Amino acid sequence: MTDSVRIRDEIADSESLAPAVTRAGAILDALAESSGEAAGPSELARRLGLPKSSIANICNALAEIGLVRRIGTGFALGRKLAELGGAYLASVDQVQEFYEECRILRAGSEETVQLAILDGLEMTYLARHDGRQPVRLTSQIGRRLPATHTATGKAALASLDPADLDRRLDGMDALPTMTEKSIATVEGLRADLDVVRERGYAIDDEETVEGVVCFGVMIPGRRPGEGPYAASITLLKARATDERVPLLIADLHRLAERLTDPLRADQRPGRDGSVIRR
Amino acid sequence: MTDSVRIRDEIADSESLAPAVTRAGAILDALAESSGEAAGPSELARRLGLPKSSIANICNALAEIGLVRRIGTGFALGRKLAELGGAYLASVDQVQEFYEECRILRAGSEETVQLAILDGLEMTYLARHDGRQPVRLTSQIGRRLPATHTATGKAALASLDPADLDRRLDGMDALPTMTEKSIATVEGLRADLDVVRERGYAIDDEETVEGVVCFGVMIPGRRPGEGPYAASITLLKARATDERVPLLIADLHRLAERLTDPLRADQRPGRDGSVIRR
DNA sequence: GCCGATCGTTCAGCATACTGAACATATGGC
DNA sequence: GCCATATGTTCAGTATGCTGAACGATCGGC
């Protein structure tokens, strides 16, 4: 493991036994970055460092199954992605329960509540409850944000066992910042995670967007190896008053309790991991 | 054609120049159907009629790029689908504008409003505005419903030129019904589409769900070859009073007007199709 | 506790998907 | 209006991804 040999540099074409699929993934990523704009085979080949004709073959296959659509002579993301994305979200039990539970939160139902899952050092946002606040502070579903600066991310990271956390932070020195208040160093992050563990919830005080504060709690995964989830409440800093915040924190803890696997919560920990679902 | 030689029967592996990608699409579809439940290589191979080892190779490649996730020894849809699905929705201008416009509708903002796009004879639902009605009547984003029974679908179909409509209905004899009131024949559908064109909007009167009525209007696509969109308002039949419905219809027409491409709406039709976007 | 069935994984040989160059087409500049 | 550039598409040869059978692991049943 000390042997840090550089195998390849471009996309992870490396050792896949189905390189066309790996490359298709790279193409989808590239199209997602240039959001909305169509890209032709030549441009994609240039960006990904792959042969032009291979790209064309894969894009045509992707177009046939609907994952991309043709815009004139180029390609853009296709509508089947919405279908499959919806199917994925529907398959995550927490998402369904999240929507139900959010509506019956005392104070939290008025605010913007979000559900996300940890993936590496990023959070993928899976669900959003829109409160009655007119301002749309939140990011769209499917968006990814750094776990190191978000309330959801810090709540999730704080729940990892130390070895796992070290593995994810391995090789990181400085953290890319989003605002002036963003934690910029790994040491600062570790110190904040200690506070999160003791406090029981995470705070993002204008670390992602200026003027906006978030509170986050961890929600454990239900299957082995499934990264922890987290829920957060987002509000304008002016609304985060001393009397309102405690109510929101209580709602978050209630939400986390309800979204924790009932089977796992009901039975005392210590039994074997055999859990029958559905 | 009397020669009934069976070339291939299972999935359309036929003539793709990137068969691994085509098969990956079939795998994703299969996983979407068995929603939530994980499926192993053997089961997928059986369902799709493809070699087991090929499936395993493709699944591992899909897992590496995050389109599927491993559940124990099996596979299920992965979280990158949520990311790409969100990116697709973000790339559709109508979706963004839909959310903004829905909130300022006079009567419609109270109800459930949906945006969908026509694809063959099905509608893919792209966006949903949740009104203040407590009942969640609507389908999730990304879900597909028959265009022949939904208000969105009939509004979209009615806007097609006759040749296009004939092509889509070619080979259909009886329509699969969803409720007792569903239109069951192609002739019945054609007659209803005539009414839709004259009336200016489509009605789904308990054709998809009993006790629920929908009104739909067509929204033209903005790029050549892009299937028509449609918007609908859904409500319990008891709420569809004689004084409320006209207000909702007016809101739908207003919405359609605002979601029609501004560039195309501003200039008189008749100019060439060269439209500069962004 | 043994056995039969089924599963996921491995591996070598062959068919075939990938590649690079050439073609045809569309575009912008002087 | 012409040329220079860049783009999407085609095609034959070859490297390589796909396949079927064998392996080892796991589960359920008489």
> How far is residue B177's CA from residue B169's CA, in Å, rounded to a whole number?
15
β-pair type (A74-77, A212-219): unpaired
Residue A72 in contact with partner chain B when CB distance is under 8 A: yes
Q: Which residues contact B36 (CB under 8 A, 6 or more apart)?
A: A90, A91, A93, A278, B76
pLDDT in tens, B21-46: 999 999 999 999 987 789 999 999 99
pLDDT in tens, A46-58: 999 999 999 999 9
- In this structure, what DSSP letter does residue B14 have? T
Residue that wins the pLDDT comparison between A195 and A99: A195
Residue B82 in contact with partner chain A when CB distance is under 8 A: yes
Task: Tell me whether residues A141 and B18 touch, CB distance under 8 A.
Answer: no
Q: What is the pLDDT of residue A36?
A: 78
> How far is residue A274's CA from residue B258's CA, in Å, rounded to a whole number?
54
B40-CA/C9-C1' distance, Å:
12
| Tokens of residue A91, six digits | 């398959």
Q: What is the pLDDT of residue B30?
A: 95
- Chain D nucleotides close to protein (CB under 7 A) are 6-11, 16-21
Burial profile B57-69: b = 16 or more Cβ within 10 angstroms, e = fewer: bbbbbbebbbbbb
> How far is residue B16's CA from residue A206's CA, in Å, rounded to a whole number?
50
Is the pLDDT confidence value at A274 over 70? no
| Tokens of residue A213, six digits | 């504060």
Question: What's the whole-number mean pLDDT along residues A162-179?
Answer: 91
Mutation to test the A interface, candidates B44, B80, B223, most A Cβ within 10 Å: B80
| Tokens of residue A198, six digits | 């003791």
Task: Tell me whether residues A82 and B126 touch, CB distance under 8 A.
Answer: yes
pLDDT in tens, B54-99: 999 999 999 999 999 999 889 999 999 999 999 999 999 899 899 8
All residues of chain A having their beta carbon less than 8 Å from the beta carbon of residue B62 are 21, 25
pLDDT in tens, B101-159: 998 899 999 899 999 999 999 999 999 888 776 555 455 889 999 999 999 999 999 99
Question: What's the whole-number mean pLDDT along residues A184-193?
Answer: 96
Band the pLDDT of A37: cuts 50, 70, 90. Answer: confident
* The model's pTM: 0.87
Say how far residue B4 (Cα) sits from the centre of its chain.
35
Mutation to test the A interface, candidates B67, B73, B88, most A Cβ within 10 Å: B88
Nucleotide whose C1' lies closest to the alpha carbon of residue A51: C19
Residue that has been written with the tokens 């539970």 in this structure = A101
> How far is residue A179's CA from residue A250's CA, in Å, rounded to a whole number?
28
> How far is residue B168's CA from residue A100's CA, in Å, rounded to a whole number?
39
Is the pLDDT confidence value at B270 over 50? no
Question: What's the whole-number mean pLDDT along residues A103-128?
Answer: 93
Is the pLDDT confidence value at B272 over 70? no
Residue B241 in contact with partner chain A when CB distance is under 8 A: no
Is the pLDDT confidence value at A15 over 90? no
Is the pLDDT confidence value at A263 over 80? no
> Rounded to a whole number, what is the distance in angstroms from the first to the last CA of chain B?
50
Is the pLDDT confidence value at A272 over 50? no
* Helical axes A41-48 vs A19-33, angle rounded to 10°: 100
Q: Are A164 and A135 in contact (CB under 8 A)?
A: no
Q: What is the pLDDT of residue B164?
A: 94
Q: What is the pLDDT of residue B172?
A: 87
> How far is residue B173's CA from residue B185's CA, in Å, rounded to a whole number?
7
Is the pLDDT confidence value at B1 over 50? no
Q: Which of B60, B62, B82 sits opposite A88 (nearest CB)?
A: B82
B54-CA/C15-C1' distance, Å:
15
Q: Which of A36, A79, A224 sits opposite B119 (nearest CB)?
A: A79
Residue among B224, B220, B261, B252 at smallest CA distance from B97: B261
> How far is residue B147's CA from residue B156's CA, in Å, rounded to a whole number?
8
Across chain A, mean pLDDT equals: 86
Residue B83 in contact with partner chain A when CB distance is under 8 A: yes
Q: Which of B22, B35, B223 sits opposite A65 (nearest CB)?
A: B22
| Tokens of residue A249, six digits | 């924190």
Nucleotide whose C1' lies closest to the alpha carbon of residue A61: C17
B51-CA/D20-C1' distance, Å:
8
Task: Tell me whether residues B24 and A24 touch, CB distance under 8 A.
Answer: yes
Task: Tell me whether residues B81 and A87 touch, CB distance under 8 A.
Answer: yes
Q: What is the pLDDT of residue B64?
A: 93
- Chain C nucleotides close to protein (CB under 7 A) are 6-11, 16-21
CA distance A17 to chain B (A): 6
Query: Around Cβ A18, how many Cβ atoms within 10 Å?
Result: 23
Q: Count how many pairs of residues, chain A against chain B, have C-beta atoms within 8 Å.
A: 189
Q: What is the pLDDT of residue A45?
A: 93
Q: What is the pLDDT of residue B7?
A: 32
| Tokens of residue B268, six digits | 């008189």
B71-CA/C4-C1' distance, Å:
27
Band the pLDDT of A268: cuts 50, 70, 90. Answer: very low
Q: What is the pLDDT of residue A7?
A: 31
Cα B161 to Cα A181, B115, B158, B165, B264, distances in angstroms: 57, 21, 8, 6, 19
> How far is residue B20's CA from residue B41's CA, in Å, rounded to a whole number?
15
Q: List the Cα angle B28/B37/A102 in 5-degree steps.
A: 100
Q: Are A155 and A164 in contact (CB under 8 A)?
A: no
Q: Are B208 and B149 in contact (CB under 8 A)?
A: yes
Residue A67 in contact with partner chain B when CB distance is under 8 A: yes
Q: Which of A19, A36, A124 sits opposite B83 (nearest CB)?
A: A124
Q: What percent of chain B has pLDDT over 70?
A: 86
